[in-house]
A and B are shown apart, each in its own frame.
Chain A
Amino acid sequence: MPFLFLSYFKQYEINSNNHSIMDIKVEKLTKNYGHHKAVDDISFEVKTGEILGFLGPNGAGKTTTMKIITNYLNCEQGDIIIGGKSIRDNAEELKKHIGYLPENNPLYLDMPVIDYLEFCASLQGVEKSKIPERIREMVRVCGLNAEKHKRIGELSKGFRQRVGLAQAMIHNPSVLILDEPTTGLDPNQIIEIRKLIRELGREKTVILSTHILSEVEATCDRIMIINNGKIVANGTAETLRKQAQGQEILTVKIEDGDSNAIFKAIQELPTVGLVDFTDRNLNRFEVQSRPGCTSRREIFNLCVKNGWILTELAVSEAKLEDIFRELTVN
């Protein structure tokens, strides 16, 4: 399979000379469902050649935003500009340049894969003479060769997901909107699809949403976390980490002392904000410093003063999971 992907990339670069630049610009987008604000005054920009990872808990407004960009839902307040054209006036024209994989990957289960891809290609205005070539390419890229004559309903979930990706890319769109593209795939397939998306992202504008945090780190150039319809973080994984690392977190193990006494002593240190037992029997603690302070030296000195033995001192790096939790748990 990996070889097939590689050969695709080569061909892809030849085919994509006529690719236009299509940046997505979302301006003050707001969407109400009755009294509930699904999306609340969101503004962001995605450049051509960039992959934006859309993160957020369920119901945060990711899917709604994507549905508005793809013109399935109305853009009531605010505006979306794709390639310099507003979606308000040019919706029908812009749809041709967008490839979309909806959430849950709906498909016509009684259609054979090939017929389905042909249907999608002709709907998207691919020239009739080029349709067979595009289908062949998509079948190869998505690894559907053995399944291409089966009905979609007979395929396993992973293969259906590939069909979903194939139909999104069949017309070689400049903009790709993927709502949870790797659900249902096995780890090997996930790696392949991520690789494919990364490669496509070089010349396309890609927005993908996901729940899997490692996926965002592996695939995306930029991460945007939204919660309750608002953007709570926007930047690369590095910048987000730096932002979250305001407070140092240490894992400490101290031996040869009474656990309660150690606990008390650490808590009384001026730089320490919070102490917690992670394992009372092993005298292991989690120490959170005050913002902007480090307690490593103080803890060492404390041990020396009391004759305790410091057997473990580790700085835990803020994980993306922690950042996510911190930003989205209210």
Chain B
Amino acid sequence: MNNTTTKYFKNMNSVWIITKKELNSFFDSLIAYILLVLFLGFSGFFTWMFGSDIFLIGQATLRPFFSIAYWSLFIFIPALTMRMIAEERKTGTIELLLTKAVSDRQLVLGKFLAAFLLICISLALTLPYVITLASIGNVDNGEVICGYLGLALMSGVYIAIGLYASSLTNNQIVAFLSALFIGLFFHIIFDILANNFKGSIGEFFNMLSLSNHFESIQRGVLDTKDLVYFLSLIFLGLFLTENNLAKRKVNG
């Protein structure tokens, strides 16, 4: 191993330590359990028992689940991320962390990864839905895999936005509401705007709309355009979060 790869692994090690600690604190503070119960209960109820559930549609498809998860994750994720930086700033523990051998970037990445893993765990716990469905009828595997991938990518975007909102303020409620506010644009408002404008402006909003890209992936087609969209939003969110953290260095 040359020097840069060792350095890279050392960097990842710090990220992983932060991730482990954050995951532990999710489970210790019961936040993780509440999230899992709410998410599974909510999505299970509407996928199997109520509204336009699978039996009403009468097809072996997980679309009802994906559209429920699309909304429930949108609301749950800001609740998960709101305290991640705001609380550390309020109690001053951020000073403790950042004066140890951890860079701002490692901290942000570690926190992102922890929330992302928790969402992945809750998504993985819905795999019995897939198994049940497969025993009832013929499931389009590509569609299911792409649906899960779409949810994971969308969660990534909202975690990045949530972290950014959390880095804006010391107040968790403010962080929660501003994450929802920013998220709402991507979730629905850009889509509405796209439908109301014609020509290049409509095209532009269409490109910004997350629901648009999500649907495109959910159809079972993995387009680079969609991947680039999600990944660049995640990158942008994390970059702005790191930037926000670095502001303390000048302003105190």
Contact = CB atoms under 8 A, between A and B. Distances in A.
A64 B248 CA distance: 12
Nearest to B96: A106
Given A123-B100, A123-B101, A123-B102, A106 B95 contact: yes
A108 B88 CA distance: 9
A111 interface: yes
Contacts of A33: 251-252
B144 to A, nearest CB: 38
Given A64-B252, A72-B248, A110-B29, A95 B93 contact: no
A119 interface: yes
Secondary structure of the B contact surface, majority rule: helix
Interface in B46-96: 91-93, 95-96
B14 interface: yes
B106 to A, nearest CB: 9
A104 interface: yes
Contacts of B100: 95, 120, 123-124
B98 A72 contact: yes
Interface residues of A, number: 31
B99 A73 contact: no
A92 interface: yes
A38 B252 contact: yes
Interface string A63-101: 010010011111010000000000000001001101010
Interface residues of B, number: 26
A278 interface: no
Given A38-B252, A123-B14, A92 B103 contact: yes
Interface in A227-251: none
B215 to A, nearest CB: 40
Contacts of A76: 250
B101 A125 contact: yes
A7 interface: no
Interface string B205-218: 00000000000000
Nearest to A115: B24
A33 B95 CA distance: 18
Given A33-B251, A73-B248, A123-B17, A95 B92 contact: no
Interface in B89-131: 91-93, 95-103
A207 to B, nearest CB: 14
Secondary structure of the A contact surface, majority rule: loop
Contacts of A67: 95, 252
A181 interface: no
A108 B87 CA distance: 10
Interface in B234-252: 248-252
Contacts of A73: 248-250, 252
Interface in B7-24: 10, 14, 17-18, 21, 24
Nearest to B94: A106
A110 B28 contact: yes
Interface of B: 10, 14, 17-18, 21, 24-25, 28-29, 91-93, 95-103, 248-252
29 contacts: A33-B251, A67-B252, A71-B98, A72-B95, A72-B99, A72-B248, A72-B249, A73-B248, A73-B249, A73-B252, A74-B249, A74-B250, A92-B103, A96-B101, A100-B99, A102-B95, A102-B99, A106-B96, A107-B93, A108-B25, A109-B91, A111-B28, A120-B100, A123-B17, A123-B18, A123-B97, A123-B101, A123-B102, A124-B100
Interface of A: 33, 38, 64, 67, 70-74, 76, 92, 95-96, 98, 100, 102, 104, 106-111, 115, 119-120, 122-125, 167
Ranked nearest first, the 7 interchain pairs of A and B with the lowest CB-CB distance are A106-B92, A74-B249, A70-B99, A106-B93, A96-B101, A100-B99, A123-B100
Given A104-B92, A123-B14, 18 more contacts: A33-B251, A64-B252, A67-B95, A71-B99, A72-B95, A72-B99, A73-B252, A92-B101, A92-B103, A95-B102, A106-B91, A110-B29, A111-B25, A119-B17, A119-B21, A123-B18, A123-B102, A124-B100
